[in-house]
Amino acid sequence: MQTQRTDELAYTTPLYSQAEAARIIQAPPTSFTRWAHGQRFKQRQQGRWGESAPLLTGVLAGRGLTVPFNALAEGYIIEAFRRAGLPMARIRPAIEVLRDEIGIDNALLSHRLMTDGAEILIRNGEGDLVVVRNHQGVFKEVVSEFLKSIQYENGYVSLIHLPTFEVVDVVVDPNRNSGHPTIERIGVRVEDVLSRVRAGEALSEVGEDYGLEPRELRSLIIQAA
C-alpha cells in the first residue's frame, strides 16, 4: 500500500499558471487547458454536445496560480505519451484503464506505473506500449524512457528532471524555489540566471557567478528562447 508524502500541501497547492505549467512541460497551452478542464464536443451519432472529463487533478478555475505540482506532473506524463505518437483519443481510455486496474485515482503519478501500469500498457512482451482499447502496439520503450526523468517519494512523483535542457540538470521540485525550474547542482532558479542575461550582463560574468560552464549556460538560453 502506498503512503501519503510527507507534505501533501506541497503537491496540491497551486504553484503555476496554466500558461507557465504548459511552458515548463513544453506542451501546447490550449492542450494543457483541455487536459485541465475537459472539453466540449459534439457527438456525431446523437447530434448532441458532450463533455470530456479533465485528465489533470486539482487544477482550479480562473486566472493566476491554478495548477498544483501534481497536475503539472500528470501533464508531463501525458505530453510524453503524446510526443511518442499516442493520440489523445487513445490516451484517455488508457488513463481510465490504469485508474481502474491499478485502483487509484492518480495512477499517472504512482510509482506502480513502472510495474503494474507497465504490465497493463505493455501487453505483447516486446517493450511496446499498446493501445489498451485494442492491444495494437504503437511505439516502443516510451514508458521506461520518460520514467527515467522522474523521482518518487512514498510511491508518488515528487520531482521531475526536465530532459529538454540536455547538458544541465534542471529539476521541478515543489519543495524547492516554489516549484520553479531549478538548476539541480547549484539550487538556483533558471529564471534568476536568465534574467541577468536578458539584462545584458556578459555571459562570462553570469557563468562565473553561478559556477556554470559555457555549454550549460548556452543550454539554458536556447531552451528559454
Residue 66, C-alpha cell as written in the block? 491554478
Residue 10 domain-assigned? Answer: no
Residue 194, C-alpha cell as written in the block? 536568465
Residue 66 domain-assigned? Answer: no
Predicted confidence band of residue 1 (pLDDT cuts 50, 70, 90): very low
Residue 120 domain-assigned? Answer: no
Q: What is the domain-level CATH number for residue 201?
A: 1.10.10.10
Q: Distance between CA 34 and CA 55 in Å, rounded?
A: 8
Residue 197 lies in domain: 162-225
Residue 128 domain-assigned? Answer: no
Predicted confidence band of residue 135 (pLDDT cuts 50, 70, 90): very low
Residue 131 domain-assigned? Answer: no
Predicted confidence band of residue 46 (pLDDT cuts 50, 70, 90): low
pLDDT tens track for 175-214: 999 999 999 999 999 999 999 999 999 999 999 999 999 9
Q: How many domains does the chain have?
A: 1
Where would I find the beta strands (DSSP E) of the chain?
Answer: 14-16, 39-43, 48-52, 67-68, 128-130, 137-140, 150-153, 156-161, 170-172, 182-183, 188-189
pLDDT over 70 at 43, yes or no = no
Reference 133, options 103, 161, 98, 108; nearest CA is 98
This prediction's pTM: 0.84
